[in-house]
Amino acid sequence: MIEFDNFLSPGRKGHLIGIGGVSMSSLAEVLKGMGITVTGSDINEGRNVDELRANGFTVHIGHRAENISDDVEFVVRTAAAHDDNPEIVAAHARGIPVFERTQAWGAISKDYQNALCISGTHGKTTTTSMCTHINMAADRDPTVMIGGTLPLLHSGHRVGHGNTIIMEACEYYNSFLSFHPTIAVILNIEADHLDFFKDLDDIKRSFRTFAERTSEDGTVIVNLDDPNAMEAIEGIDRHIMTFGLTPKADVYAKNISYLGENSQFDIYYHGRKYTDVTLHVPGEHNVKNALAAAAASICLGIRPNAVKYGLAGFNGAGRRFEFKGKFNGADVYDDYAHHPGELRALLDMVETLNYKRTVVVFQPHTYTRTAALFDDFIAQLRRPDVVLLAEIFAAREKNTIGISSSQLAEQIPGANFYPGFDGLENALRSLAQPGDIILTVGAGDVYRVGERLVAETKE
């Protein structure tokens, strides 16, 4: 069996199917930085495609056999590209090896002395971003792959020349089981992606296998406050470092104070003060994310001041409680939360900010997740003052189970369902007022609603 490692040398040529995706566009840039020529294709134009072309990549729109040029030596495909994709069919017919995206990232991770892989049901992008800020403050010159946009990088990736790679590690389809961490972080574990996993126990088994893939001399960093995470790693033959809000953890926080959208706290390591931190993103969940990032930094031998200044410079990742602007005197934010646990953390944090009303525009993400976690979504969506529901964002799925956001609305007092964005925008025009916080929430394209309203204010 041909391994992707065989192609990680200057002068090779590859083709990426779905190159416009966040992880795939990052992969293209990293491969280019290694001296590999990369072409690609995607079904849509977009910001990532524009940036790739500006950086010299050839990107085709639409999938056709002729996109695979004669000199292509390997193909990498996104999970959305199936075996009947004409480019995959053409590659197989010509004997060109086709790799999964995660296989490529896994092979790349083996090239680094330090492979820091951040996993968890929630908080991966934020914590990976925090780790990036810290490593940059420490002049580590890391290579980075994030499942979102980090303003510091103006993208979701960075090609560095140091000995550290920082990677967001997603459990969906067991993707992270292709990675080779020297430091594995498990932030939390909840039931999610139940279109792939059988149940929560199946998910915990996957995380356990991920932890066991850590190098024998590596470290698994785990959230002591999360029973599922602790159960998943119980008894594994790896060095364990814990973080949390209790002094029982190896890395923990003391003297926490919340000041609007900021928080201040001291980080302790093995009972001794490590550093003090001012964090410019709100919420207890972000304190925990920062503790995980600090624990990873301790494993990497990074000095405390770099942790302090790296975290102080972090102002959030794209679509993670991202301020979009004002509309009718209301503050408009966007957040990627698409799981009840993420909604809970988001609403807990917003409740500390003293707005007069919380207005949530929620777009559920995938039919299977909405059905599997229906009651949990209802419990959280009953909390805001005003709830407007967009139709479910299908993503990769077809609605074979006949579920709609309208069914959520029926169970939430005062909630309204809008099948299209025009109706949502008109509703917000009528109800938005000074003192409100308007949150567009979901992993789909609901952010466009807030962006359009803010744009009206600027006209």
330 and 214 inside one domain:
no
327 and 407 inside one domain:
yes
DSSP character for 351? T
For the chain, list residues with pLDDT below 50: none
151 and 207 inside one domain:
yes
CATH code where residue 264 lies: 3.40.1190.10
Q: Which tens digits make up the pLDDT trace of 104-131?
A: 999 999 989 999 999 999 999 999 999 9
Last residue of a domain, one of 288, 312, 336: 312
Does the residue 402 lie in any domain? yes
Does the residue 49 lie in any domain? yes
Specify the pLDDT at position 176: 95
Exposure string for 53-80, b = 16+ CB within 10 A, e = fewer: eeeebebbeebeeebbeeebebbbbbee
Looking at this protein, which amino acid is placed at residue 18? G
Specify the pLDDT at position 156: 85
CATH code where residue 377 lies: 3.90.190.20
Last residue of a domain, one of 74, 100, 126: 100
If one counts the domains in the chain, the total is: 3
Last residue of a domain, one of 39, 71, 100: 100
154 and 241 inside one domain:
yes
378 and 399 inside one domain:
yes
Does the residue 107 lie in any domain? no
429 and 356 inside one domain:
yes
Q: Is the Cβ–Cβ distance between 404 and 391 less than 8 Å?
A: yes
Q: Which ranges of 162-265 does DSSP label H, i.e. alpha helix?
A: 200-212, 227-233
Does the residue 132 lie in any domain? yes
212 and 300 inside one domain:
yes
Does the residue 413 lie in any domain? yes
Q: What strands, in cross-sheet order, belong to the sheet with 386-390?
A: 322-327, 330-335, 436-441, 357-362, 386-390, 416-418
357 and 277 inside one domain:
no
Structural domain boundaries enclosing 307: 112-312
172 and 284 inside one domain:
yes
Q: In angstroms, rounded to a whole number, what is the distance separating the alpha carbons of residues 169 and 105?
A: 10
Q: Which tens digits make up the pLDDT trace of 180-216?
A: 999 999 999 999 998 899 999 999 999 999 999 999 9
3-class DSSP state of 457: helix
361 and 268 inside one domain:
no
Does the residue 106 lie in any domain? no
Specify the pLDDT at position 80: 81
Does the residue 361 lie in any domain? yes
Q: How many helices (H) and strands (E) does the chain have?
A: 15, 21
CB neighbours of residue 109 within 10 Å: 22
Specify the pLDDT at position 459: 65
Specify the pLDDT at position 70: 93
CATH code where residue 90 lies: 3.40.50.720
Specify the pLDDT at position 25: 92
Does the residue 415 lie in any domain? yes
331 and 299 inside one domain:
no
263 and 355 inside one domain:
no
Q: In angstroms, rounded to a whole number, what is the distance separating the alpha carbons of residues 377 and 369?
A: 10
